[in-house]
Structure 1
Amino acid sequence: MPLVHSSYNPPLFFKNGHISTIYAGLIRKVNDLEQIRIRIDLPDTDFLDLDWSYASTPSKKLVIIIHGLEGSSKRAYIKGSAKILSKAGYDVCAINLRGCSGATNKLYRSYHSGATDDLRSVITHITQLDEYHSIYLHGFSLGGNLLLKYLGEKRDVPNTIKGAVAISVPCQLADSLEQLLQFKNAIYAKRFKGNLIQKLKLKQQLFPDHISDTDIENIKTLKDFDDIYTSRAHGFIDALDYYTQSS
């Protein structure tokens, strides 16, 4: 893979990656974007919420956007992309992965980096609408890994898929987790873990026989979360098996 050097020169304060990340996550706002929510049913009886934005004139081009870990269609990086793309003449479908739309999903399982069947269900739904001749995939972080895995599997990829962009992708999940667990990234790991545990507590109310208080107390790191919940809920042996199969 070629290394392409960027000519982008960020403003002074944003030359620091931590400042850029925290600003984008906590401060940046994107206004004047209309999102219309549509819920689709999945083959396993669960659901996904999709937030649509439309170009000012009817378009036959669509971009499907997939957020990162514990993101949603309402995050600034998703809304910012949708706003720019809509102005450029593309319709946009921003996926909320299971449990990320503000509504807890129905099943014990949730979303993960390799859950390509859910992306496949969205693409099938859209192609059945028969409204777009060109579809593009646009994923951030976990969502980028998801779309690259989908394309790499080469299962029923429709010829209307014309291209894809993946940003900040953890292409090797185990190595990426190792980086995330380093001291310099502790604030991000703590935030991710806190959000995931809050969702797990909601899931526990629906499935008390699957998730115990001890399980939740034993989650000290993100890897623990994947050992205790992600792997069990999605048919992997353990966290490392999940990372290997889903990268």
Structure 2
Amino acid sequence: MSDFAPTGLLQNPHTQSILASTSLRRLRIYPQARAMLNTSKSVILDCGDGHQLLGEYSAQGKRSKGLITLIHGWEGHSQSSYMLSAGGTLFNAGYDIFRLNLRDHGPSHHLNRELFNSARIEEVLGAIQTIHKTYPQQWQFLAGFSLGGNFALRIAAKAKEAGIHLQQTIGICPVVDPAKTMNALETGWWVYHKYFVNKWQKSLKKKIRYYPELGYKDELLKLKTLREMNNYFVPNHTPFPCAEDYFEAYNITGDALNSLSSATHIIATQDDPIILAEDFSRLPSNNEFLHIETKQYGGHCGFIKNYQLDSWLDGRLVELINLTRFPSGHPSNPPQP
């Protein structure tokens, strides 16, 4: 296992969480992501029941080692720094990459009338089914960041029932208990709360320009906090009567992951200011398919290993996926799935 041992200011969780998405980081990322971006094409996926999701597909051609689908976090998108960083590294390691946008993320607000909510697992399952059918590979992998990690883990738990064959699923700092995560955003460092309020409001303003009949334009101007926004949008624009019921719908503690049927790996940190480390103790400890790797440092989806802003996580993802394909360490004799 690769070790992650940042020094100095890089041991600060806020430094890690913020650096991962800065403009300087993007400048560092683009050279390694260039090959992936040069082959990238936008794809609109039919997810069933009239729902559509947008993604970007980058193909190796005949030399591909397999397909890795990546899912971003809340209010991120397929062009987020961490998606480009991980995707570019994995593409350079020989894998096809599909970067999936969740509903109303990236330039996809026009595709579906109803608003995004985190309980919409069926359309993401439909997207994965369509991706695998359209781009068939012997080796199929799934990875997600933060809320995307939560989606990825729920998909892995439903994969067998849905006829989805995954060799491995990786959740990076996944949301485990949504109610606790929302409370951490509300009561923690104000920068995170302000960031997500601004991002969510911007997304909602974009959405209502396409669908003014949703009718929340004037109400949105009055909502200043995540709590106020949840208390308005959950009962009015989801099937749930209150925020508490909504959060419980995508909570993955208890028996939610008991149905895992393929290798599943979580990478988390002890100092995450958004996803509390204690939440991972509430995941099943006796599931043969689930492994939880916790690092002392890294913040929320940070994992910046040096002052050149290189990512430890990207190399770890390559390591984990290659190990699944070649557990004996001999690529010339890969096992059959």
Q: TM-score range by the shorter chain?
A: 0.7 to 0.9
Number of aligned residue pairs: 242
Q: Secondary structure at the match of 2:195?
A: helix
Query: Which residue matches 2:317?
Result: none
> How far apart are residue 123 of structure 1 and its match?
1.7
Residues 133 and 160 in structure 1, CA contact (< 8 A), matched pair in contact too = no
> How far apart are residue 128 of structure 1 and its match?
1.9
**Is the counterpart of residue 179 in structure 1 residue 175 in structure 2?**
no
Superposed CA deviations along residues 179-230 of structure 1, whole A, max 9, x for unmatched, are: 111142x111111111111221233334444333442134222132222224
Q: 1:25 aligns with which of 18, 21, 25?
A: 21
**Is the counterpart of residue 79 in structure 1 residue 79 in structure 2?**
no
Q: How many percent identity over aligned positions? A: 24
Residues 185 and 192 in structure 2, CA contact (< 8 A), matched pair in contact too = yes
Aligned CA-pair RMSD: 2.3
Query: Which residue matches 1:212?
Result: 216
**Is the counterpart of residue 122 in structure 1 residue 127 in structure 2?**
yes
Query: Which residue matches 1:104?
Result: 109
> How far apart are residue 167 of structure 1 and its match?
0.8
> How far apart are residue 96 of structure 1 and its match?
0.9
Query: Which residue matches 1:201?
Result: 205
One-letter identity of the residue aligned with 1:55: Q
Stretches of structure 1 lacking an aligned partner (at least 5 in a row): none
Residues 65 and 137 in structure 1, CA contact (< 8 A), matched pair in contact too = yes
Residues 73 and 147 in structure 2, CA contact (< 8 A), matched pair in contact too = yes
TM alignment of 1:208-247, pairs within 5 A: 208-247=212-251
TM-score in terms of structure 1 length: 0.88
Residues 73 and 79 in structure 1, CA contact (< 8 A), matched pair in contact too = yes
TM alignment of 1:62-77, pairs within 5 A: 62-77=67-82
Q: Secondary structure at the match of 1:156?
A: helix
TM-score in terms of structure 2 length: 0.66
> How far apart are residue 87 of structure 1 and its match?
1.7
Query: Which residue matches 2:289?
Result: none
User: In 2 relative to 1, CA 196–166 (structure 1 residues): closer, same or farther, beyond 3 Å?
Assistant: same
> How far apart are residue 155 of structure 1 and its match?
5.9
Query: Which residue matches 2:300?
Result: none
Question: 2:48, 2:18 → 1: CA distance?
Answer: 37
> How far apart are residue 43 of structure 1 and its match?
2.4
Residues 234 and 241 in structure 2, CA contact (< 8 A), matched pair in contact too = no
Residues 48 and 123 in structure 2, CA contact (< 8 A), matched pair in contact too = no
Question: 1:130, 1:156 → 2: CA distance?
Answer: 20
Comparing 118-127 with 69-78, greater Cα deviation is found at 118-127
**Is the counterpart of residue 54 in structure 1 residue 50 in structure 2?**
no
Task: Look at both structures and tell me which one has the larger radius of gyration over its CA atoms.
Answer: 2
One-letter identity of the residue aligned with 2:136: E
- Of structures 1 and 2, the one with the larger relative CO (CA 8 A, separation 6+) is 2
One-letter identity of the residue aligned with 2:4: Y
Query: Which residue matches 1:133?
Result: 138
The runs of 4+ residues in structure 1 deviating greater than 4 Å are none
